[in-house]
């Protein structure tokens, strides 16, 4: 019989956390080992709500105790929470799937360093379609490297706290790397007033926040007489949850290290 993976979900009462709980519950090769909420949450001690009813598991804010005996923690929370969980996972040998965004450079390096001790899949977007889009953008940037201006537009729900989205930034990083640029040196994150002519070496970003938009991303390559748009639209958070489960299963064939969804999906050249 195949090994059943024992999964802990962080941020279990959040929008993404609830979808992750459902995905783990419905997966035949996974079992929900625990569900974490923020310290001091009023939800602590309540039964974990699952599609079709409640679980025997209780929501907990004791991460160390909940992680004991687990195989993988899936964490789509906030940087400070994820890093606290990372320390515990590193100490206890629990692998991590990290879908949290908004990390600064030093925090990202901390995650990379932890890959010396545990397996980590760290990606700004777990969607299979988005990660395929990254490869399409790499191809487009390589071909459209002259005479085309590049603009990235993203839209998310009103509750998202970071901007631009981690996915939009990753799109910019993929394009910049392909063009031999550093995104930190060529990104433009907003325009107002008299800005002058557009610098053709820049990559522009526009952010929309409103309603319940799950996640829309479009990259525009604007040339003379033609425009190419590459767009991904997510209509359900379940796409991210299913991608996260593919990342969980990836650990069966990998050792310690920090990986991304290109590794999980076999897209790395």
Instruction: Assign residue 161 the CATH number of its domain.
Output: 3.30.360.10
DSSP assignment, residue 60? B
CATH of the domain at 245: 3.40.50.720
Do 60 and 138 share a domain, yes or no? no
- What six digits make up the tokens of 120? 């980590």
The predicted pLDDT at position 56 comes to 83
Is position 25 annotated as part of the catalytic site?
A: no
Do 94 and 188 share a domain, yes or no? no
The predicted pLDDT at position 53 comes to 61
Do 180 and 111 share a domain, yes or no? no
> Is 67 within 8 Å of 89 (Cβ atoms)?
yes
Full domain range(s) for residue 39: 5-122+237-265
Which residue in 6, 25, 110, 160 is the catalytic one?
Answer: 160
Do 213 and 252 share a domain, yes or no? no
**Other C-beta atoms within 10 Å of 76: how many?**
24
Q: Residue 36 and residue 105: Cα distance in Å, rounded? A: 26
Do 10 and 112 share a domain, yes or no? yes
Do 103 and 152 share a domain, yes or no? no
The predicted pLDDT at position 1 comes to 45
Do 81 and 32 share a domain, yes or no? yes
- Please list, in sequence order, all residues whose beta carbon lies within 8 angstroms of the beta carbon of residue 136, skipping any fewer than 6 positions away: 230
The predicted pLDDT at position 124 comes to 85
Q: Residue 43 and residue 12: Cα distance in Å, rounded? A: 10
Reduced to 3 states (helix: H, G, I; strand: E, B; else coil), residue 16 is helix
* pLDDT-flagged residues of the chain (< 50): 1
Do 253 and 186 share a domain, yes or no? no
Q: What is the pTM of this model?
A: 0.83
The predicted pLDDT at position 65 comes to 97
Do 163 and 217 share a domain, yes or no? yes
What angle in degrees, to the nearest 10, is found between the helix axes of 79-92 and 105-114?
A: 20
Q: Residue 109 and residue 101: Cα distance in Å, rounded? A: 14
Do 10 and 69 share a domain, yes or no? yes
Is position 160 annotated as part of the catalytic site?
A: yes
Domain count, the chain: 2
Which residue in 33, 85, 156, 232 is the catalytic one?
Answer: 156
**Cβ neighbourhood burial of 90 (10 Å; 0-12, 13-18, 19+):** middle
């Amino acid at each position: 019989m195949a090994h059943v993976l024992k999964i802990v979900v962080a941020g279990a009462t959040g929008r993404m956390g609830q979808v992750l709980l459902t995905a783990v519950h419905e997966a035949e090769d996974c079992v929900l080992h625990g569900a974490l909420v923020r310290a001091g949450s009023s939800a602590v001690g309540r039964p974990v709500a699952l599609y079709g009813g409640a679980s025997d598991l209780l929501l907990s804010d004791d991460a160390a105790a909940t992680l004991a005996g687990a195989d993988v923690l899936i964490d789509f929370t906030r940087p400070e929470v994820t890093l606290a969980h990372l320390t515990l996972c590193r100490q206890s040998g629990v692998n991590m799937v990290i879908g949290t965004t908004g990390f600064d450079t030093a925090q990202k390096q901390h995650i990379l360093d932890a890959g010396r001790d545990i397996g980590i899949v760290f990606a700004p977007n777990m969607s299979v379609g988005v990660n395929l889009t990254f490869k399409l953008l790499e191809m487009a940037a390589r071909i459209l490297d002259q005479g085309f201006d590049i603009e990235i537009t993203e839209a998310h729900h009103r509750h998202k706290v970071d901007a631009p989205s981690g996915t939009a930034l990753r799109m910019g990083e993929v394009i910049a790397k392909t063009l031999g640029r550093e995104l930190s040196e060529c990104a433009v994150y907003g325009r107002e007033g008299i800005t002058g002519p557009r610098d053709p070496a820049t990559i522009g970003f526009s952010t929309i926040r409103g309603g319940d938009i799950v996640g829309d991303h479009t990259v525009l390559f604007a040339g003379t007489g033609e425009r190419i748009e590459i767009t991904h639209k997510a209509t359900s958070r379940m796409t991210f949850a299913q991608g996260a489960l593919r990342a969980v299963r990836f650990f069966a064939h990998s050792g310690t290290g920090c990986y991304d969804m290109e590794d999980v999906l076999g897209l790395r050249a």
